[in-house]
Amino acid sequence: MAGLVERARVATGSLLTDSAFRAAALVGRLHPNARPARYGVDVVRDVAYGGESEHRLDVWRPRTPGPHPAVLYVHGGGFRILSKDTHWVMALAFARRGYVVFNVDYRLAPRHRFPAAVQDVCRAYEWVVANGARYGAEVSRLVVAGESAGANLAAVLAIAACYERPEPWARAVYATGVVPKVCVPACGVLQVSDAARFSRRRRLSTFLNDRLAEVQRAYLGGVDALALPGGTDLADPLLLFESDTLPARPLPAFFAGVGTRDPLLDDTRRLEAALMRRGVTCRASYHEGEVHAFLALVFRREARRYWRELFAFLDEQLPVT
């Protein structure tokens, strides 16, 4: 009976979270200020980048003459919910500043467990490198970005571009020869294994513990690491950054923003320390009192500060060519 109650509690919490995010995204899109044309931005929707039904991306591009720097944006949602359509505000934020944004969908857990999401974003990376110029993107000035689970996958793309990995999907990214100039992992869950580590550091509510455990269970539950090339290393990019394994190519610069009330805060702190130890440029942006994925709440002061600091950093790292 206790197991049944726990499963029901977890399922109810998951449904409420998913519904709340989708409703907020839908309501936001109806606001007049959300119209891309208002900012001189066009959107090409549901472009296929692979053979699966989930292999779709939206291209958000400025109407001004290009070429423009490119952003490959990977949505969050604990690897199991949400989509590019719920994350339109991030795409619009980049596009109105002059970036061509490739906002991608990928297969979701638990139906598609690790490494499906990694395979998909690696495939999207290949597609962007091969096809970005058709949409006015200059892929030599590429940014990989995402928040929460998307931050994990953005960090994995940086690894795939810089390390000679055994996974064929990672090798395909490496073979493009294109290394992103900047990686932007916001509010990242950068280690999926050992979800209980957060509650060992500080007391978390049952709701938050359920959500964190659910991410690990949905993404990695039942995965046979021994049957995979590279095992489950790419589910935990933070552990690779903290290791002594050296990349074959220099890592990109990183900009990592997070709220101080985010239960995932420690992963960003660890990322900053690991990259600084490696001598990699890393700008960590901490936002007092802000919760998980606060950057989507663009009406809030700290969210606006996050975007100002990010764009200032990108201006430093992506000079006009």
What average pLDDT does range 233-261 have in this prediction?
98
Element (H, E) at 317: helix 301-317
Which residues, at least 6 apart from 26, have a Cβ–Cβ distance to it below 8 Å?
Answer: none
Query: pLDDT for 164-188, tens place per residue?
Result: 999 999 999 999 999 999 999 999 9
Instruction: Calculate the average pLDDT of the chain.
Output: 92
Query: pLDDT for 47-73, tens place per residue?
Result: 999 999 999 999 999 999 989 999 999
Query: pLDDT for 184-232, tens place per residue?
Result: 999 999 999 999 898 887 888 888 899 999 999 999 999 999 999 999 9
What is the DSSP code (8-state) at residue 58?
E
- Six token digits for residue 78: 């604990």
Q: Which residue, 37, 38, 169, 45, is CA-closest to 105?
A: 45
Q: pLDDT-derived band of residue 29, with 50, 70 and 90 as boundaries? A: low
Looking at residue 5, its pLDDT comes to: 39
**What is the reported pTM?**
0.92
Q: What distance in Å separates the CA atoms of residue 247 and residue 140, rounded to the nearest whole number? A: 19
Looking at residue 28, its pLDDT comes to: 55
**How do 100-104 and 282-287 pair as beta strands?**
unpaired
Q: How many helices (H) and strands (E) does the chain have?
A: 10, 8
> So where are the chain's domains?
2-317
**What are the Cα distances from residue 126, in Å, to 41, 88, 122, 178?**
24, 22, 6, 9
Is 3.40.50.2300 the CATH classification of the domain at 2-317?
no
